Amino acid sequence: ISLVCGRRCGSILNMPSLSIVSNVSRSVVPPDFIEEATKVFQKAIGKPLEYVCVSLVPDALLAFGGELDARAALCRVDSIGKLGVEENKEISRAVFQLLKDKLQIESTRAYIIFNDRQPSEVGFKGTTFDELRKKK
Burial class of residue 88 in the structure, from the number of CB atoms within 10 Å of its CB (0-12 exposed, 13-18 middle, 19+ buried): middle
Rounded Cα gap, residues 102 and 110, in angstroms: 14
38, 75 contact by CB (below 8 A): no
Query: Which residue in 91, 77, 78 sits closest to 124, CA to CA?
Result: 78
12, 136 contact by CB (below 8 A): yes
Active site residue 16: yes
71, 23 contact by CB (below 8 A): yes
| Residues labelled catalytic | 16
